[in-house]
Chain A
């Protein structure tokens, strides 16, 4: 669905603002985050800023919101040049912003958060929240926000917290609303709800600058799209533009959204799991009697809804779990009962599900993270002394090879975007000869350009003859990479099906049907409908 065309809105809504950014440049030291950016947001439109992580979208919006002073360039509101020396000025001019990371006080209520910074006090200096409450109820009713002014922020789901941020802006009469990657933290359902809200807001006369790097959303919601790459505007597009074209503009080269991979040439089944059971402390079976094997030169993807034992399965292989029964063998050597170090030394490359928690030490430099499990190897240490030169050279090579976007190898890992962090983890795990490669959610939170790259690297590893296991909750990814697909449900293996299986089949298996049951059900439905699926 699209909102009303801009010209119509113009006639209907007198109070809306036209916003122009002219030649905005913002540098951080030698890094030019925004380079002479021009942008026009027409009244009442949803204008999308599309760009990869690190393209400079947030920086541009922070300039617009008065958080950063532009190095050069000007901002025009309704044709008048304005200068914002802080968010207060921007708000006064009718610009509101919902940041990528929320700015709410978690222990305060919704009303208290909304009132923050514009508190009105009643008799005797008592904070008067009644007015704020009333306003929240009004706005909430008008746009169907369904927000209780007295709820405490930290008890609310992320989607609702986001609405509180939007209310904060609306209470201050924002007529242009900046939403910085609002969908990054939302579930698909919450994303749909947010889109409804955005449409209602524009129908009410608010313009929206919507920032995203997810093509599907951008196409679904925006009236116009401006694409930013490495700090520069590279073009504008209509939402009717094809996904491939948008992706290519964003990344700066033609992007193949579907991965070309040669058919697998599976060899010997060197990695075997037999009757693997992983239990929690209280005896719950997290992985329940799972057996399968992976051959050299093939990718087995493990599909399933989040929390069906995938995490525990991979962690059991690495030796991170204690209550493990059954057998895991690599090249005939038993891995169960070994320490993590021994498993890694046996040639297992491991990309954990959550890179920030398990994959990286955020405070460490990229160079240090690139040797996080290799620092003890001969190349990187002499005796008990780290070989800094070798580590620096290694970092330079890997940054180049994996195209990690960073000002320097000494930058702390937590300053990198998600995609670049993931590249660091993959670069590390793929930098030694492997006998098995396991990656969980290898592209979660990663932008399009990097996804393509990471997928190619994974396939390249397969083509070198390494058995590969990919765990993913994204069905797209599962189908894209798989030579064979294993589906887990409640810790049990529902079956292993060919890589080209239908989504319907996988969906049924993910919901707890065995491969045979699922096939039977599917053919029953198709016979009923009398048409092929």
Chain B
């Protein structure tokens, strides 16, 4: 996935002073590696192209992937259903029964999934009836972490480290939450900023290592995930442990440091969702309207042209990873100040990894990510209701989610394996003919 032409060396335009001596500056001694030779799109290029194609293809592919995944999910539901199996026993006598049973199983399962995620008049509790708010609640950290993956990706970095950045965000937010006493509004603000900083540090490390040494962000962020998991475990056994509990959990967040509930005590939906929506708007503006976003996109799409145009690619990597990490940190805040309200080792759940899928499904655009996160939130909210009401294993949701990834990723993957150019992708750069020295000499003499 490395771009052979990507120069990892720092090029800080601010600090580079014009050489004063008439002999000019001798930079040979500098430890920074020199620009690597430029080659045409070669083998190493393919990995990067592949990921770009998977992450940024058309939105239609996403929609179709979801539809097909749901259809296959339906088949699985049908064939694993007990009534269908019973009816299939006399299939040749009365095939209609089998099909009717299939339809019943699938419509019941998806019906309760849909109702559980939106509105179910038959449920006993308010919370159960208005599943839509659970959907939004589950979507909140996914939106923020999905944005984190999205923005890094737009600058050409594959941030696998949302998980670790969420954990760091939650640690910082938690420490500032139950470790301090501040007036209500200010306390929450401090917690939010602190969480963002925590995530930004974790993301920034990956960005810095990428920029200074060329260390691949995928490897670094995976490593940082492990460190984060063990760090939070350590802290929960020591500094951040709730003295009143024998388990490795932190004290609860004080009321001044949690997001206010938006719909009263019957619903978990909190102001974290508003934060997430604001983040979507902000990132959409940043990417599409701001000069910084222009730089990110240029660096992501063609770092060589970006560098030639005077952009500082290494600085771009650092800045985007700070922002990316910060967004994941906010996802951590939305967990600890929103739904969890205390820090435990599982504060990030699977959000950091689902975020990658969400960004992929959202085609690495802010609003695409938002809607993809809502879909995944709906799967989560409706999955439970499906398991309870239709007696269909909640694993079906997992299967559908995995199939979505498969359908989006598979076509480019297959093309990449066989190195067939996609019809929609640009033709390869044409190798310029070179005049051989021999021929020139022959012609000249």
Residues on A close to B: CB < 8 A?
Answer: 100-101, 105-107, 154, 158, 184-190, 274, 279-281, 305-307, 311, 315, 318, 320-328, 333-345, 350, 352, 354, 356-364, 368, 372-373, 375-376, 381, 384-386, 388, 414-415, 418, 441, 444-445, 473, 503-508, 510-511, 521, 525
Q: Which of A281, A358, A445 contacts B308 (CB 8 A)?
A: A358
Q: Which of B20, B38, B309, B441 contacts A372 (CB 8 A)?
A: B309
With A357-B304, A510-B437 known to touch, is A384 a contact of B298 (CB < 8 Å)? no
Kindly provide the distance from the CB of A214 to the nearest chain B CB, expressed in whole angstroms. 11
A356 contacts across to B, CB distance below 8 A: 429
Binds A, one of B24-32, B60-68, B273-281: B24-32
Q: Which of A188, A338, A344 contacts B18 (CB 8 A)?
A: A338
Q: Which of A101, A345, A358, A473 contacts B305 (CB 8 A)?
A: A358
Query: Is B440 an interface residue, CB under 8 A from the partner?
Result: yes
Kindly provide the distance from the CB of B260 to the nearest chain A CB, expressed in whole angstroms. 31
Contact B434–A339 (Cβ < 8 Å): no
Kindly provide the distance from the CB of B281 to the nearest chain A CB, expressed in whole angstroms. 14
A280 contacts across to B, CB distance below 8 A: 34, 37
Proximity bits, B417-445, A CB within 8 Å = 1, else 0? 01111000011111111111101110111
B444 contacts across to A, CB distance below 8 A: 503-508, 510-511
With A105-B420, A386-B291 known to touch, is A306 a contact of B17 (CB < 8 Å)? no
Q: Which of B308, B432, B437, B439 contacts A340 (CB 8 A)?
A: B308
Q: How many residues of B contact A (CB 8 A)?
A: 66
A356 to B45, CA, bound (A): 14
Sample of 25 A–B contacts (CB below 8 Å): A101-B427, A107-B419, A187-B436, A188-B435, A279-B34, A280-B37, A320-B307, A321-B34, A322-B27, A325-B24, A338-B16, A352-B308, A357-B429, A358-B304, A361-B297, A361-B302, A362-B302, A363-B302, A381-B291, A384-B291, A385-B290, A414-B426, A441-B432, A445-B432, A473-B435
With A325-B24, A362-B301, A373-B310 known to touch, is A507 a contact of B291 (CB < 8 Å)? no
Q: Which of A279, A323, A339, A357 contacts B12 (CB 8 A)?
A: A339
Contact A386–B302 (Cβ < 8 Å): no
Query: Is B83 an interface residue, CB under 8 A from the partner?
Result: no
With A101-B421, A386-B294 known to touch, is A320 a contact of B30 (CB < 8 Å)? no
Query: Is B268 an interface residue, CB under 8 A from the partner?
Result: no
Q: A279-B28, A344-B309, A441-B432 are in contact. List 16 more A-B contacts (CB 8 A).
A: A105-B419, A189-B436, A280-B37, A281-B33, A305-B436, A322-B9, A322-B27, A334-B25, A337-B27, A341-B13, A341-B311, A342-B13, A354-B429, A358-B304, A363-B302, A373-B310
A343 contacts across to B, CB distance below 8 A: 310
Residues on B close to A: CB < 8 A?
Answer: 5, 9, 11-13, 16-20, 22-28, 30, 32-38, 40, 289-292, 294, 297-298, 301-302, 304-312, 418-421, 426-437, 439-441, 443-445
Kindly provide the distance from the CB of B326 to the nearest chain A CB, expressed in whole angstroms. 17
A506 contacts across to B, CB distance below 8 A: 444
A361 to B431, CA, bound (A): 18
Contact B291–A327 (Cβ < 8 Å): no
Q: Which of B20, B302, B307, B431 contacts A360 (CB 8 A)?
A: B302
With A279-B28, A357-B305 known to touch, is A507 a contact of B18 (CB < 8 Å)? no
B426 contacts across to A, CB distance below 8 A: 362, 414-415
Contact B310–A341 (Cβ < 8 Å): yes
A106 to B445, CA, bound (A): 40
A325 contacts across to B, CB distance below 8 A: 24, 26, 28
B310 contacts across to A, CB distance below 8 A: 339-341, 343-345, 373
Kindly provide the distance from the CB of A456 to the nearest chain B CB, expressed in whole angstroms. 23
Contact A322–B16 (Cβ < 8 Å): no
A126 to B70, CA, bound (A): 37
A184 to B429, CA, bound (A): 11
Kindly provide the distance from the CB of B11 to the nearest chain A CB, expressed in whole angstroms. 6
A190 contacts across to B, CB distance below 8 A: 433
A345 contacts across to B, CB distance below 8 A: 310
Contact B433–A187 (Cβ < 8 Å): yes
B437 contacts across to A, CB distance below 8 A: 305, 510-511
Kindly provide the distance from the CB of B204 to the nearest chain A CB, expressed in whole angstroms. 20
Q: Which of A107, A362, A386, A414 contacts B289 (CB 8 A)?
A: A386
A354 contacts across to B, CB distance below 8 A: 38, 429, 432
Contact A306–B305 (Cβ < 8 Å): no
Closest 9 CB pairs of A and B: A507-B444, A339-B13, A327-B24, A341-B310, A373-B309, A337-B25, A337-B19, A187-B433, A511-B441
Contact A321–B440 (Cβ < 8 Å): no
A376 to B26, CA, bound (A): 30
- In the complex, residue of chain B having the shortest beta-carbon distance to the beta carbon of A108: B418
A510 to B309, CA, bound (A): 31
Contact A376–B309 (Cβ < 8 Å): no
A105 to B421, CA, bound (A): 9
Contact A187–B434 (Cβ < 8 Å): yes
- In the complex, residue of chain A having the shortest beta-carbon distance to the beta carbon of B11: A339
With A326-B24, A339-B312, A361-B305 known to touch, is A334 a contact of B35 (CB < 8 Å)? no
Contact A384–B5 (Cβ < 8 Å): no
A338 to B17, CA, bound (A): 6
Contact A361–B298 (Cβ < 8 Å): yes
Q: Point out which of A281, A324, A340, A342 has the most chain B C-beta atoms below 10 A from its C-beta.
A: A340
Q: Which of A305, A328, A340, A386 contacts B290 (CB 8 A)?
A: A386
A375 to B18, CA, bound (A): 24
A533 to B34, CA, bound (A): 45
A100 contacts across to B, CB distance below 8 A: 427
A281 to B27, CA, bound (A): 12
Kindly provide the distance from the CB of B194 to the nearest chain A CB, expressed in whole angstroms. 25
A187 to B436, CA, bound (A): 9
A410 to B89, CA, bound (A): 61
Q: Which of A106, A189, A381 contacts B419 (CB 8 A)?
A: A106
B431 contacts across to A, CB distance below 8 A: 158, 185
B9 contacts across to A, CB distance below 8 A: 322
Contact A323–B27 (Cβ < 8 Å): yes
- In the complex, residue of chain A having the shortest beta-carbon distance to the beta carbon of B22: A327
With A325-B24, A504-B444 known to touch, is A364 a contact of B18 (CB < 8 Å)? no
A326 to B19, CA, bound (A): 10
Contact B294–A336 (Cβ < 8 Å): no
- In the complex, residue of chain A having the shortest beta-carbon distance to the beta carbon of B425: A414
A336 to B289, CA, bound (A): 34
- In the complex, residue of chain B having the shortest beta-carbon distance to the beta carbon of A186: B433
Kindly provide the distance from the CB of B190 to the nearest chain A CB, expressed in whole angstroms. 26
A24 to B312, CA, bound (A): 50
Kindly provide the distance from the CB of A117 to the nearest chain B CB, expressed in whole angstroms. 13
Contact B440–A511 (Cβ < 8 Å): yes
